[in-house]
Amino acid sequence: MAESFFSSTPRIPKDAIFALTAQYKSDSSPIKVNLGQGTYQDDAGQPWILPAVAEARRRVQNRKLVHEYLPILGLPEFRHAACRMVIGQPAFDSVSSRIASSQALSGTGSLHLAASLIKTCSSLKPTIWIPEPTWSNHHLVFGSLGFKCRSFPYYDFERKSLDFDSYRTMLQSAEPKSIVVLHACAHNPTGCDPTKEQWREIGETMKQRQLFPLFDAAYLGFNSGNIDDDAYAIRLFVNELDMEAAVCVSFAKNMGLYGERVGCSFLVTRNADFAVNTESVLERLQRSVVSNPPAYGAKIAGTILNDDKLRNIWNDDMVTMCSRIKEMRQALYEQLLVNDAPGDWTHIIKQSGMFSFLGLPLEIVIKLRAPHLHGR
């Protein structure tokens, strides 16, 4: 047999999150529950098409949908509306000329594009600080680009709350021009966010110590049901503290466009000239990886963001999802009390967003899979 060019190719373990979903799908029990993958479902365990998305989809299809290429940087009206949504009015009018943006492949693509730009043409250090715990893909995305990934304690497992002392220590000790990954809201997986006062201290310290903020904004609207409230930290850093920043936005969760891969990666720079240069690099990087981003989901999201009536419907949709998640938290908490579960479970109702960090030992999580609860 001839020698293979791939004889030294290693076998990589399956992604833990998607492996858990596959395990769930293979379970034949009618009462099985998927507690792993972060997708919103209705009471029947089925995907929910947001009313705003359904109407936007109808409008897009009625406009004689064609399948031509988008520009390399994506759909302009979507990009601009996404940046405006995050920065907010009237601040966006004064900041927009300093923004370099590109449509990207949801959250993962947004992070990869921003990190690629930072690695390619900035004076920042190749060191990136990532909270622990965090979304598992953070290390994979940044590590694959050659960044030195450093972790810092984010969550106090004993008190089941934010470990702000360790957060503060990291900010004071990190080398200037290092990058810090910031979950804009609804921290994945703990559901535990800094307070407004803590965000201000984080921002002021980062500015004073020349640390660069990279916001992962995957859950705007899922924390409180309100984009303006959930974008607080980003607006504080950019609008009030006048900091440069990278912002990576996804519409997978808050619009339910999981499979359409709708995202936007943008950087707020010091002046308009820097923004033009930065956007030219984004365009070159985009061309080398995806060439042109997908159109359909961006047209749906752009239609919603640029229409006041649809935007209001979407706001109601987010309130619906957020309220139901809070109700489920409360119901779980109450059932734990009713069944005399040992320990203090108040952290469940203090957390926010899509994820609940129960703090169970691994052996208990594995044991729970026997009665068809597939969690991690």
Question: Is the dihedral angle over the CA atoms 190, 191, 197, 200 positive or is it negative?
Answer: positive
| Catalytic hit among 129, 135, 199, 314 | 135
Cα distance between the two ends of the chain: 43
Pairing of strands 245-250, 262-268: antiparallel
Report the largest interatomic distance among the alpha carbons of the chain, rounded to a whole angstrom.
69
Question: Is the dihedral angle over the CA atoms 272, 277, 280, 286 positive or is it negative?
Answer: negative
Helices 164-173 & 196-208 angle (0-180, nearest 10): 10
CA dihedral 182, 183, 187, 192 (to 10 degrees): 50
Least Cα distance to 145 among 177, 113, 105 occurs for 113
Q: What is the token pair recorded at 63? A: 């406009």
| Catalytic hit among 216, 230, 314, 317 | 216
Task: Evaluate whether 347 touches 186 at the Cβ level (below 8 Å).
Answer: no
Q: What residues contact 285, with CB distance under 8 A and at least 6 apart? A: 113, 116, 117, 120
| Catalytic hit among 253, 299, 314, 317 | 253
Other CB atoms closer than 10 Å to residue 233's CB: what's the count?
24
Distance CA 230, CA 220 (A): 5
Would residue 216 show up in a list of annotated catalytic residues for this protein? yes
Q: What is the token pair recorded at 175? A: 């080398």
Would residue 135 show up in a list of annotated catalytic residues for this protein? yes
Task: Evaluate whether 138 touches 181 at the Cβ level (below 8 Å).
Answer: yes
Q: Enumerate the active-site residues.
A: 135, 216, 253
